[in-house]
Amino acid sequence: MAPKFRFGKNAIIRVAPVTAFTGELATKPATAAFKLLCLASEVTIGIENTTIDIENFCTGGRTISVRDGGRDGTMSLGETTWVEDDPAVVIMQTAAFAETETGGLVYVEVLPLGAGAGKPVFDLVVDVRTWELTVPSKGVITATHELSVQEGPLPGVIPA
């Protein structure tokens, strides 16, 4: 039996500015607001379950870490090819330069297997904390971003 594997080349990353909130959570923008971020070299998303250290008589005085019910999301983008009028690149850059408390928030959809009904999707809301432009004497101009996950990643599937 052949091993199962997936190629990343079919992945889709879409971004949209966060413009509304439902209570404390960002409202997912309309489909038309999302722009394809096809200029990134890679994307990494994940979670880290938060813990609390416990030391007591039952642990024999040892320090043990147990999950405390919290979860922190992580996301990083590889270098992004910078093109001044690419809509997705503009969304990321605008978020980085925003001066309001929530102006730097971007809603991100990561579709690791591409688009299609029933395929997985991960939704995240990220704050674009830093933006750095690299202009080489030879080669393409790139941008890098430091992202802070505010919500997610929330796993789901693309509806039919």
In this prediction, residue 130 carries a pLDDT of: 92
Give average pLDDT by consecutive 10-residue segment, the chain, 160 residues: 84 93 90 90 91 86 88 92 94 93 87 93 95 95 94 92
- Specify burial of residue 98 (Cβ count, 10 A radius: 0-12, 13-18, 19+): middle
Q: What is the per-residue pLDDT for 101?
A: 74
Domains of the chain: 10-157 (2.30.110)
Instruction: Return the pLDDT at 143.
Output: 94
Give the three-state DSSP class for 158.
coil
- β-bridge pairing 142-157 and 80-81: antiparallel
